[in-house]
Amino acid sequence: MTAHDASRAAASRLREAGVPEPTASAEVLLSELLGARRGDLRFRREPLSREQSKAYEAMISRRLDREPVQRILGYAYFRNLRLSLGEEVLIPRADTESVVEAALERIDLRDGACRVLDLGTGSGAIALAIADERPACEVHASDVSEAALRIARRNAELNLDRSERVAFHRADLVSGLEALAGDVDLLVSNPPYVASAALAGLAPEVRDWDPPLALDGGPDGLDLYRRLLAETACLLKPGAEVVLEVGDGQAKEVLCIGESAGLRRVGARPDLTGTLRAVILEKKGS
Ligand code: GLN
């Protein structure tokens, strides 16, 4: 069977089983397996080898179990990075790229050389993208999970020329970040923000494969914003800014939580679909 025929057959099996994005799943898995560009698959006329067919079949059966394509591959693309994954970290989302854009804009407005902290870094997506795209920044990344930090450190080695530009900290919110007290210019975070009762209703790709620690935001989904905005003020320089990813419809409430914590609201920024995805707050007194 040619690559083209194999991916079409796989796509129809996925479609019949009700798996979302069947064609993209089938094509991305096969093109990554063959080291080919997705658009070139249909020009590949040579048959797949036995090993390739077997490996592809194994991938498709995992996808039939609703395992996300990135977990099957073991990596995900994010901005200019290829991030390796593990079961302990959330798959970086396209939505979060707009949070990085909001952070980069704030950095540029502050003349570029900032001390940045990505709190709850997971795979390292936000911290590494900022280090990669704004080399003048001093980037710090923290996570409560030692396993996540191992993955993030590895991603720094795999993706950055000088991986030492990102400093990693094991910390439960501020506890563990005492060394940064009063020194942070920009705090970025994508905290867990799904309401606990909504977890069961998420797509199987998220519910069964992303770590609950990275998703569960408590009864109304906003617990981590309350804690984070109340507790991290001591890390921020006067005039420092905070850029937070928020779930659909949460921007207004998170801005209010920030104001109750004594911050000034700067604004909110949409993602590619037009949903407000990043909120921006500022510590008073610059
Ligand atoms: N964006 C994630 C989702 O798909 C949630 C991530 C988070 O809670 N920070 O549900």
- pLDDT score for 84: 98
Same domain, 61 and 92: no
Mean pLDDT of 156-173: 90
Same domain, 211 and 274: yes
Decide if 266 is inside a domain: yes
Mean pLDDT of 194-198: 97
Same domain, 139 and 219: yes
Ligand 1 pocket: which residues have CB below 6 Å? 93, 190-194, 206, 215
Decide if 70 is inside a domain: no
Decide if 171 is inside a domain: yes
Please, what's the b/e burial string for 142-161 (b: 16 or more CB within 10 A of its CB; e: otherwise)? Answer: bbebeebbebbebbbeebbe
Same domain, 152 and 262: yes
Q: For residue 194, report the distance from its CA to the centre of ligand 1, in Å.
A: 7
Per-chain mean pLDDT for the chain: 96
Decide if 44 is inside a domain: yes
- pLDDT score for 165: 81
Q: Could you identify the atom of ligand 1 that is nearest to the CA of residue 93?
A: 1
pTM of the model: 0.95
Rounded to 10°, the helix 146-159/125-133 angle is: 30
Give the residue whose CA is nearest to atom 4 of ligand 1. 206
Decide if 76 is inside a domain: no
CATH number of the domain where residue 131 is located = 3.40.50.150
Number of domains in the chain: 2
pLDDT at residue 122 is higher than 80: yes
Q: For residue 200, report the distance from its CA to the centre of ligand 1, in Å.
A: 13
CB 74 within 8 A of CB 199: no
Distances (CA, A) of 78 to 41, 61, 127, 278: 23, 25, 11, 17
Same domain, 39 and 116: no
Pocket probe for ligand 1: among 91, 126, 190, the residue whose CB has the most ligand atoms within 8 Å is 190
Decide if 78 is inside a domain: no
pLDDT at residue 182 is higher than 80: yes
CB 110 within 8 A of CB 186: yes
Same domain, 42 and 141: no
Decide if 39 is inside a domain: yes
- pLDDT score for 63: 98
CATH number of the domain where residue 21 is located = 1.10.8
Q: For residue 192, report the distance from its CA to the centre of ligand 1, in Å.
A: 6
Domain range enclosing 39? 3-65
pLDDT at residue 200 is higher than 90: yes
ipTM of predicted complex: 0.93
In the sheet where 115-119 sits, what is the strand order?
A: 166-170, 138-143, 115-119, 184-189, 236-245, 276-283, 263-270
